Amino acid sequence: MTLEVIDFFCGSGGFSEGFRQQGFKIIKGIDNWNPAIQTHNLNHGLDDRVSDVLDFEKSIDSINKLKNTEIIIGSPPCVTFSMSNRAGKADKSLGVRLIEAYLRVVAVKKHQPKSILKAWLMENVPNSRNFVREFYTFDDLDLGDWAKTIGKESGDIALRVKNNGGFFIAADYGSPQSRERFICGEIVRTGDFPEPQITHSKKSDIFNHQVYKTLGEIKRFMPSPFEFLIDGEWKDPNYPGLILIGNTLTDHFYDTGLYQVEWEKAKFAKVNHPYMGKMSFPEDENKPSRTIMATRSASTREAIIFKSEYSRNGDGEYRLPTIREIATLMGFPYNYQFFGSEGTKWRLIGNAVCPHMSAALAKAIRRDLGLGVIEEKEVDFTSLNENHEKVNNLNSPTKKTQFNAPPKKNIGAKFRMHPFKSGNMTVALTNFDPINGSNPHTNGKNWFCVLYLGSGKIYDAIPVSKTLFRDVEKIVSSFSEFEQIKNEFSDKIINNVGSFDDLQYVFEKNVGEIDRVGNPVKIIENVSEIINNCLFKIDETCTIRLDGIKKTNFHKKQLLAIWMISQIVYSNNPSRIKNNKKIVQPSII
């Protein structure tokens, strides 16, 4: 028996794909974003138009018009949630409204006379569990009057949600990704959640689980993006029976090399965050991939960054994953195609349910309905084979040799960066006053050395005054290696620092002097390097009293950071730089 499925908030169809692999027939996808519907249509042989799930809030008619299916699945977007969840619609956040609009459809399809619904599921981010109820009555779903027409009371329970499911990690079900999600639902006949069977774990164990697939295993199994070959044979690391030839492996053979300014920023955010834990840079390949986010980012903590196979230093030394790599790390088969630009494809993929997770749920439903399970080797991918010709293939056989159009920032973009954290404090160079704040148009007109004292999100921010700078200078100039440090600081940093305007300009345009020495990101890295290379024990402390600061015990390296960054701020002389023509190359702006 082939069971039919409607996929609400279908996106590119990760949820659908797991069910397809388990022999279910996807008959409709609902999404209000065109690239999602186009992608879902292409991969599942459908012809749907964009539509809005909120339309099902309005009338029962619209729900009745939807074809009845045995299965309903849905993964509402993780847009805003808020604690306010009272009865009136106006009080609900969009996230809660979308969940309830979906549950309303499920409730009607479950309780309508002659219902054929056998199972339903809802998937969302873990935090969404805080915003769903243990159960929903017909009244809660605005179905009070309708309930009476089918012989029920408006206060009767229509659906159990919060405890009918739990948190699940995709890697436990064979996905090469550690994505965690809240999933709930039921087998209608029993009211029980179709518990998926764990197949993988961190280490081999008594349950005969396979060991997690790691990021490195997947990456090494795939061809390098620089093998711009058209006649290779590419075996899918997730589905070994699926083999593609040459350019039919789309969205993979192109250069995703990053500008140095981008990867350096990501590196700093990962290894040197003021209050969050240290992360690997580049990615740790010995574990499943971290969660692929919906937004393609190159310079944040969330960015997934690999060392490039193409040997370059600085610009291009590191790269982002290709679209095919992230699709494979989600568990999409090699011949699954995505519409749109690189950014759109990334969003479609990062939004999806991992197909392995979805297939495990589909298998559990088959088991609970007494249907045979479809083994992986029996899964058929041929229906997807010709689709590569219908999408914009990102493959492009040119290596980036010139990195001459770095991503620009907004005019007035804020800057705050510290060379390291130690002793419960950071010393940062900023282009905004942390106490008075500054509006974006004034950022960059003034730069500050700021002490951030404390941990977590609660801290004191103290701009270093000229007097405080001079007090610290007296102390650091007595350090044994001060002369040497001072010379290195002059050579590497202070002689190359531009005026405040120049600093802002170089930062916004992501350019700088040769080797970007005048770029504030590079300046802070150089400060970090000089201090961390000092010979004296860097965590040694000094007990001193500084004007306006309660703390009296300072790591020597922090005092050096105060001295260096204040020096940058207080010796900043606009005329010096302009006279020496130390400003960036206008040709690349």
Structure tokens at 431: 């282009």
Query: For residues 33 and 507, which CB has a smaller minimum distance to ligand SAM in the complex?
Result: 33
Q: How far is the CB of 355 from ligand SAM (least distance, A)?
A: 8
In this structure, is the dihedral angle defined by the CA atoms of residues 84, 86, 91 and 93, taken in order, positive or negative? positive
Residue nearest to ligand SAM (CB): 11
C-alpha span between 75 and 69 (Å, rounded): 17
Q: Is 184 a catalytic residue?
A: no
Q: For residues 13 and 434, which CB has a smaller minimum distance to ligand SAM in the complex?
A: 13
Nearer to ligand SAM, 27 or 538 (CB): 27
For the CB of residue 434, give the shortest distance to ligand SAM in the complex, in Å.
36
Q: How many other CB atoms are there within 10 angstroms of residue 227's CB atom?
A: 12
Phi-psi region of 316 (alpha: psi -120 to 50; beta: other; left: phi over 0): left
Q: Residues in the site for ligand SAM, rule: CB under 6 A?
A: 9-15, 30-33, 36, 52-54, 75, 77, 98, 351-353
Tokens of 473: 């200078």
Whole-number minimum distance, CB 40 to ligand SAM, in Å? 8
157 or 294, CB closer to ligand SAM? Answer: 294
How far is CA 57 from each of CA 11, 62, 102, 105, 408, rounded to the nearest angstrom?
20, 9, 9, 9, 42
Which class for 465: exposed (0-12), middle (13-18), buried (19 or more C-beta within 10 A)?
middle
Long-range contacts of 313-316 (CB under 8 A, 24+ apart): 314/260, 314/515, 315/257, 315/258, 315/259, 315/260, 315/400, 315/403, 316/255, 316/257, 316/258, 316/400, 316/403
Q: How far is the CB of 9 from ligand SAM (least distance, A)?
A: 3
Please state the closest distance from residue 65 (CB atom) to ligand SAM, in A: 16
Task: Quote the CA–CA distance of 30 and 105 in Å, as a whole number.
Answer: 12
Give me the phi and psi of 571, to 5 degrees please: -100, 10
**Pairwise CA distance, residues 166 & 147, whole Å:** 28
Can you give the length of the chain in residues? 589
Q: Which of 78, 184, 354, 534 is catalytic?
A: 78
* Strand-pair partners of 30: 8
11 or 498: whose CB is closer to ligand SAM?
11
CB closer to ligand SAM out of 75 and 308? 75
Strand partners, 426: 421, 452
In which residue are the tokens 């065109």 written? 34
> Whole-number minimum distance, CB 359 to ligand SAM, in Å?
12
Q: Which amino acid is at 474?
A: K
* φ and ψ of 231, to 5 deg: -120, 15
Question: What is the closest distance, in whole angstroms, from the C-beta atom of residue 62 to ligand SAM in the complex?
Answer: 12
Based on CB atoms, which residue is closest to ligand SAM, 10 or 517?
Answer: 10
For residue 504, the Cα-to-chain-centroid distance in whole angstroms is 28
Q: With beta carbons less than 8 A apart as the criterion, state whether 98 and 146 touch.
A: no
Residue 581 backbone class (left: φ over 0; alpha: ψ -120 to 50; beta: rest): left
| Shortest separation between residue 78's beta carbon and ligand SAM, angstroms | 7
Nearer to ligand SAM, 108 or 266 (CB): 108
Nearer to ligand SAM by Cβ, of 21 and 519: the residue is 21
- To ligand SAM, the closest distance from the beta carbon of 268 in angstroms equals 30
Residue partners of 408: CB distance under 8 A and separation at least 6: 508, 509, 510
Let me know: does 93 contact 84? Beta carbons within 8 Å: yes
Q: Which residues are catalytic, by number?
A: 78
